[in-house]
Amino acid sequence: MPAKLSYKLIVMNIFQFILFLSIIIWLIIPFRQIGKKYFYYFLSFALLDPLTEFLRIAFKSSSNYFFVPITCLALISILNISIIKKYRYQIIVLFVLVCIFNFTKIMSENTFIILCIIHLLIFLKLLKVFSINFVRNKLFDIFLTILIFYEITVILKFLNLLTGFTNADIYFYITTTFEILFGLFFCIFRSDDSRLVLQLK
């Protein structure tokens, strides 16, 4: 019995370390990407886990209140500036409505579905940018490719939480480990690094 408890304790400590390391790395990324195209995208997700953990520790709450509004901000941050300026009032109204409805039971019960949809929209937007660069300009953007794969891991994480196609806890920490690797890449390379853009013939 003690051996079994010790094993479980070691596993839990490993999981907690993985989660803590992920938070630290993603807090570093915005400083590395300051002034670059995806700065606000990275800043949004850098704040997400710390805010959630603070809410849980300070108020003993398991609420994921920040998840949907902050993920919406990440989606807004990757839109073209011209679109944001043109539809700024509509965007503000929609964001305020999201924050208000975030308190409702319907939103809380469908958080993972909503998050999956938002991340899918982010993925499609990034894929569109990649496709335009690849087809029109004959450019292969490695940074953008890694970012797209990161979004895929996030979408798969939420799909697993929704469908349970494998052990949710184990899969969560596996994908979090991959997110740490992605995070290290984003800490090392900036989005405008010319070495990561290949000119195709």
Two structure tokens written together for 38: 């995806």
Residue 97: domain span: 2-199
**Domain count of the fold of the chain:** 1
Q: Which one has a higher pLDDT value, 64 or 134? A: 134
Q: What pLDDT is attached to residue 68?
A: 87
Amino acid sitting at position 28: I
- Residue 5, pLDDT above cutoff 60: no
Q: What's the CA gap between 87 and 160, in Å, rounded?
A: 34
Q: What's the CA gap between 21 and 31, in Å, rounded?
A: 16
Query: What's the predicted TM-score (pTM) here?
Result: 0.86
Residues in a beta bridge with 198: 140
Residues in a beta bridge with 197: 141
Question: Where residue 120 falls among pLDDT bands split at 50, 70, 90?
Answer: very high
pLDDT in tens, 40-93: 999 999 988 788 777 777 766 656 777 888 899 999 999 888 888 888 888 888
Average pLDDT over residues 10-33: 85
- Residue 17, pLDDT above cutoff 60: yes
pLDDT in tens, 27-38: 999 999 998 999
Are 175 and 140 a contacting pair, CB within 8 Å? Answer: no
pLDDT above 90 covers what percent of the chain? 40
Q: What pLDDT is attached to residue 14?
A: 77
pLDDT in tens, 135-161: 998 999 999 999 999 999 999 888 888
